[in-house]
Structure 1
Amino acid sequence: MYRLPLSSLLLFLLVDRTPADSLQEGMRDLHSRFSLSLYQSLSSGLNQTNLIVSPLSVALSLGLLQLGARGNTLTQLEETLGYNVQDPHVRDFLLLSGSSLNSSEGVKLLQTCSLLVHSSVLVQRDFLHSAASWFNVNVVQANLQSPRRERPERRNDEPWPLSGSSSSGELSGSGDPQPSDSPWWPSWVQMALVNTVSFRGAWQKQFVFTHTQNLPFLLSNGTTIKVPMMHQASDVRFGQFRTGAEQRYTVLELPYLGQSLSLQLVLPSDRRSPLGPLEEQLGPRHIWSWDAGLRKTRMDIFIPRFKMQNRFNLKSVLPVMGISDAFNPTTADFSRISEEGLYVSDAFHDVRIEVTEDGTKAAAATAMVLLKRSRAPVFKADRPFLFLLRHSKTGSILFMGRVMNPVDQSS
């Protein structure tokens, strides 16, 4: 896992480039390190399950906490992220990574961050003003300690946080809203951070429904199942790479409509190689090498449909990454939010994604067809693989995850 001191950002600004280019490269490095650290912390001990997380969304949520923090609490947030969101250039970079997405044709990103504060707490006006300028943030005062409390209103289709949650950081919950008399945080809570994100995007070149076939997918335990495998022959960016341990792997990039976003699929080259070592060895320099090393190639592409949703309570994960004071009632310093001794008792992250033929939603039964063999090289994701959904201009990782079983939709 990666920890980077705040001073690291300054080093990137000293290179012989324009300030804008230097800042973008520095922020891309810091964000990649944070993204991989978050992903690897969450994936530890969950080797056989599908997994998805939105590093950009979590970073924006932690940025909101930075706005309200002081002292060592602020220092830990800065060192884990690698930057201070009070810097206007940093804020511009983060907001560009998020706010420009919904303006892209065929792309819909729903990202919300809500800081729920108990109704008796007096919130500082300066913090409310700062939070209002942050990305899609709501500061909501509600009765968090009533045994029968009403939940704050939400938009249609906005996912609720972890139901039946614990502080374990494990995946759990059914995804269904719980009854209003079933509390989803403890009775002593005075502040909770709730982050939700979902994405739908149309492919630059859509897969054809009638080309989808039920084909074998090799699970990590050695058994084979049949899954709906999408197919297209297309010119895509493709490359072959090696890790530091000389494990060979391939990367395929599929752009979404408008080409501001792309999905990168990462697959071990050897069918017998498990995915775990590649996950552990993957570092920021590998991700940077893809940007220069991918080449346009005519390929036959086979990837499975998949849909997944994960819910996390980050309370045990973020301290491992260096953010501990924020969750400790005796050391937390959020005096920029309120002088009443607030601390974060829970941090929920709810994320979902669906990959289908048109990039949005499968709507018809699969038709079985025979596809002609071609002489083009083949990329066939018929075994566990990683995926990263990235913003082309900034390199930010919106989503990162793995597919261990394409037909398993449990969270």
Structure 2
Amino acid sequence: GMWVAKDLEITSKDTGNKTTLQITDLQWKTPKETSMAFDPSESINQLSIDLYKKLSAANDGNLFLSPYSISTALAMTYGGARSETAEQMENTLHFGGQGATHPALSHLRKNLNGIQKKGHIQLSIANSLWPQKDYTFLPDYLALTQEFYGSEIVSVDYKADSEGARRKINIWVEDETNDRIKDLIPEDMLDPLTRLVLANAIYFKGDWASQFKPEHTRPAPFKLAGGTSVEVPMMSQTEDFRLARTDAFQALELPYEGDDLSMLILLPSESDKLPELDLEMITGLEFNEMEVMVQLPKFKLESTFMLGDTLAAMGMPLAFTEQADFSGMTGTRDLFIGAIVHKAFVEVNEEGTEATAATGVGMKLTSMPPQFTANHPFLFLIRENSNGTILFIGRVADPSK
């Protein structure tokens, strides 16, 4: 079928005169393509790179954080943001508007919960809101956090007992992270004026699909950025892995049991130069499966970040001032974000990885497999394989720390 132009005949009620309107042109308007739909994985990955760049420039040494966890906690807050506050958050956090962001993140959360249910790995993600008990939040906002983020909402009394409220929140986080993250909220952070705390916890423990044998772990030197070396327990195995190479670094993918998640290790070719991270670089890597001799140090990292200043500097300062507009939460403009604390823990050993968040290639003989020897600082990501979502990102500067 097709549109055919048809003249319109109009009769005047008063006089009965007839007028003919001739249609000379028709425009077929198609709705906007939805290919630009909000992609939650891309949004989180972009935030991962932005945050990593800021935090790695401002902090020396080892570093570990969960961009997924940070994005989720802020998305819950964004659900109540309005006007310029919402715009700043949307741009800084790479969100896609209120209508698209929450259902998409909800879908991602359910997908990750589905991986946990398969039983190969432990991955628990918990969100919670801790409002002042006599503060009234809009039913729509509470419904949004529960429906899309599965958020627990627990009223506490900051006015009468801010220390008691702090203990309650910290115990909740401890329980949700298998006792790995203790004291998320530091002393003196809450006071009688606190009205809302958002806590987000993510705990991950996975075994390698191909485990390292403990008897192959040996002390070996790890060259620090300054040129000195420390002795670290170096794990070793020769197995088929996916390996990618660029001029600047090698990338090795170590899958976890179940193959839903992998650790991606980016090892610079020059021992004193960590690669500049960008998304194109990571998504554009061309992997080949081959036998690789892998040497990787055991390590354990814990990082704590107060993210308020960092996020303000990245483009969302309004949310942290009294000019903030979170009227979508309460109907009034009297709330702003007091602080954002992020704490994350990771342990990598022969069996695999436990993570939480509140080299030169020597080809000696043709028979020698390529070597991946992580004996100097490297970056790593833990990501979901089907959509590439970066759950954790880290930098190992000194595994002995």
Shorter-chain TM-score above 0.5:
yes
Q: Provide the aligned C-alpha RMSD in A.
A: 2.3
Contact 1:240 1:249 in 2 (8 A): yes
String of CA shifts for 1:267-310, please: whole Å, max 9, x gaps: 11123x322xx2xx3211001112xx011010100000111111
3-state SS of 1:157 partner: coil
Q: Moved runs in structure 1, 4+ residues, more than 6 A?
A: none
- Per-residue deviation at 1:95? 2.4
With over 3 angstroms needed to count, the CA separation of the structure-2 counterparts of 1:360 and 1:148, relative to structure 1, is: closer
Change (3 A) 1:101 1:309: farther
Deviation for aligned residue 1:33? 1.5
Give the residue type in structure 1 aligned to 2:324: A
270, 280, 284: which one pairs with 1:285? 280
The answer to whether structure 1 residue 335 and structure 2 residue 327 are counterparts is: yes
When Rg is computed on C-alpha atoms for both structures, the one with the higher figure is 2
Aligned position for 1:3? none
2:295 and 2:225 mapped to 1: Cα distance?
Answer: 19
Q: Secondary structure at the residue paired with 1:251?
A: strand
Of all paired residues, the percent bearing the same amino acid is 30
Give the structure 2 partner of residue 51 of structure 1. 63
Residue 78 of structure 1: aligned partner: 90
Q: Tell me, yes or no, if structure 1 residue 378 matches structure 2 residue 392.
A: no
Aligned equivalents of 2:263, 2:215: Cα separation in 1:
22
* Secondary structure at the counterpart of residue 113 of structure 1: strand
- For residue 328 of structure 2, give the secondary structure of its aligned residue in structure 1: coil
Q: Name the CA distance, whole Å, in 2 between partners of 1:85 and 1:353.
A: 33
Match runs of 1:122-133 below 5 Å: 122-133=136-147
The structure-2 alpha-carbon separation of the partners of 1:113 and 1:312, relative to structure 1 and needing over 3 Å to count, comes to farther
Going from structure 1 to structure 2, the CA distance change for 1:312 and 1:233 (only over 3 Å counts) comes to same
Contact 1:161 1:349 in 2 (8 A): no
Distance 1:289 1:235, change over 3 A: same
- Decide whether the 8 Å contact of 2:113 with 2:124 is kept in 1: no
Shift of 1:35: 1.1
Matched, 1:240 2:232: no
Residue from 338, 341, 346 that aligns with 1:348? 341
Shift in Å, 1:197: 2.3
CA offset digits 1:49-108 (Å, max 9, x no partner): 110110111111111112111111111221122223532662355325533331243211
Q: Give the counterpart of 2:389 among 375, 383, 396.
A: 396
Would the alpha carbon gap of residues 30 and 323 (structure 1) be closer, same or farther in structure 2, given more than 3 Å must change?
same
Equivalent residue in structure 2 for 1:109, among 112, 116, 123 = 123
Q: CA deviation at 1:317?
A: 1.2
Alignment of 1:222 with 2:217, yes or no, is no
Gaps of 5+ in 2: 1-31, 355-365
- 1:251 — aligned with what? 251
1:44 counterpart SS class:
helix
CA distance in 2, matches of 1:148, 1:46: 30
Find the residue that maps to 2:158 and give its secondary structure. Answer: coil
Q: Distance in 2 between matches of 1:14 and 1:37?
A: 28
1:62 paired residue among 66, 74, 98:
74
Shift of 1:161: 4.8
**Counterpart position of 2:3:** none
What SS does structure 2 have at the residue aligned with 1:230?
strand
Report Cα offsets for 1:176-222 as digits up to 9, x if no partner.
Answer: xxxxxx54424422122222222210111111111111111011111
Q: 2:164 aligns with which of 149, 169, 186?
A: 149
- Per-residue deviation, 1:144: 1.9
Contact 2:162 2:190 in 1 (8 A): no
Distance 1:346 1:268, change over 3 A: same
Could you tell me how far 1:380 is from its partner in structure 2? 0.5
Distance of 2:111 and 2:41 partners within structure 1: 10
Is the CA contact (8 Å cut-off) linking 1:265 and 1:388 kept in structure 2?
A: yes
Unaligned residue ranges in structure 1 (runs of 5+): 1-12, 165-181, 243-247, 362-372
Q: Provide closer, same or farther for how the CA distance between residues 403 and 148 of structure 1 changes in structure 2, counting only shifts above 3 A.
A: closer
Partner SS, residue 108 of structure 1: strand
Alpha-carbon separation, structure 2, partners of 1:124 and 1:402: 41
Provide the C-alpha distance between the structure 2 equivalents of 1:70 and 1:376, rounded to a whole number of angstroms. Answer: 57
The yes-or-no answer on 1:268 pairing with 2:281 is no
Q: Is the 8 A contact 2:220 2:232 kept in 1?
A: yes
- Which amino acid is the alignment partner of residue 295 of structure 1? N
Q: Distance in 1 between matches of 2:154 and 2:180?
A: 16
SS of 2:164's equivalent? coil
Larger RCO (CA under 8 A, 6+ residues apart): 1
Q: CA deviation at 1:236?
A: 0.4
